[in-house]
Chain A
């Protein structure tokens, strides 16, 4: 069974042949993700995927993120918590250089992805390796199939046909736990799905090309409790293949899904450690006050 070994790490080369290759198709009859949660034990850290060294982000004069150093490991969920406006979303968007789209934003410090400075990478290549799920579900106005196939199509030189894409789309939808709900209506408009389904579709779209890191920006804040629970479970299953960084201002959620938790306040990284430590034995006074609900 494939679940006995960690999944292979796929290196994406900038000038590699089309990403849609039969080699990355999963074995028939099941996938590691279904038993990923059981496979994973808390505290077991995989290799380091991303390293942040003295990361600062300025919007004009305003320093939104101040000298943050962190590491993001494979097989681990890092939850960023903190009150609104504390810089957690900015920090997240800096990891795939999405802050560059904001006029007037400047960054200091270094971000390494597998030891390579992200500034040295082609930005599109970086974003293929570091995928992102947004706060508001944002499926494109296309069919469900086309949404999941979007990145697969865009990332290959030759337009792959539907028969090539179909197994990859199915695999992504299965890993996102959406396959059973949509397998009969792959050509239906994605925008007709419910909010929770849309968000899982966005997760499927993001993981279809097998990124190494998945960034999630408050993925459940626009969803009802039941959809939230489904997505939290999904995060637990996905972490065996991926490094996941999730921003949330819901502390219970951070506790449920996070292996490591980083507490940010006004741009500072106040405390970073295993989830149990942050919630049960916080070291800093501000962390203690925040997790107890004194402010927030």
Chain B
């Protein structure tokens, strides 16, 4: 007679406890999404998908909601959130692209070319930088970079040319992207360095022994093999940049304005903006007003979905790489 083999209770209890914990985490996430979506519903009900479009001044629209009181008329729900969405896309996208380029080159240098002594200093410092609270970067930005850009880079002519549209003070897309990049680069370097160290030595040696130089060996074999980890680093950095609120609120100018690339690269970079996460923080004082409440929850929902999509995109991007045996 065959009978099913059962694990002893001492093993099964660990399995059950940990399984229950994992399910609880999953449940919390689902409930959170449902709750946020439910709270955000009124604003989508009134605006539809046009909520995402450009139109009017988003700061004026939010002010109308704040002043509308407890029973706002339907017209007061009116919102076109594009400047905030665009601000989020710009700051996150630019910072991650620059960060990725910088992190890749830096980690190649650290792993392959840096002298041992330099490496012994640089790696712990990078890890330390990854742990610096973002508000400190924000403080440096507002005290050092913003005045610098305001006094030395923005000319009177620049200010005059957009006088009737937006005020240029120094707090700008440029400063926001620079500080955000500085903020997310250390964690990307740390992940890329670990990934490059994990590439089997035999692969790199094999490439070098075939007569390619160390840079090409690194680029064609090590980086290739480390691609899944590099994607993971980009996703993590992206998530951090998406959620960054305080620092960006300090250095971005905090204006519901969409920097316009057609103003020319110079003015585009010097124009202020405000991303979604910063808007949530700044409007959280007016949550008693139902329209504001619903709108802020809608911002949160958008950020939640972005990070979910981001994880999904990262996962999908890694799939074709697994085919050739690249570890993730």
Contacts and interface: CB of A to CB of B under 8 A. Distances in A.
B306 interface: no
B210 A134 contact: no
The 5 closest A-B pairs by CB, nearest first: A191-B325, A128-B211, A138-B202, A127-B211, A132-B209
A151 B211 contact: yes
Given A150-B220, A191-B324, A138 B210 contact: no
A132 B209 CA distance: 6
Contact of B208 (A103, A127, A140, A202): A127
B212 A138 contact: no
A202 to B, nearest CB: 7
B178 interface: no
A206 B209 CA distance: 9
A31 B212 CA distance: 28
B326 interface: yes
Interface string B180-221: 000000000000000000001011011111111100100011
Interface residues of B, number: 22
Contacts of B46: none
A279 B210 CA distance: 34
B221 A124 contact: no
A134 B205 contact: yes
A36 to B, nearest CB: 23
A190 B209 CA distance: 18
A192 B325 contact: yes
Given A98-B209, A141-B225, A190 B324 contact: yes
B206 A189 contact: no
Given A190-B324, A192-B325, A140 B213 contact: no
Given A150-B220, A189-B324, A138 B206 contact: yes
B157 interface: no
B323 interface: yes
A257 B173 CA distance: 69
A142 B324 CA distance: 5
Nearest to A191: B325
Contact of B213 (A124, A136, A205): A124
A289 interface: no
B212 A154 contact: yes
A101 interface: yes
A155 B202 contact: no
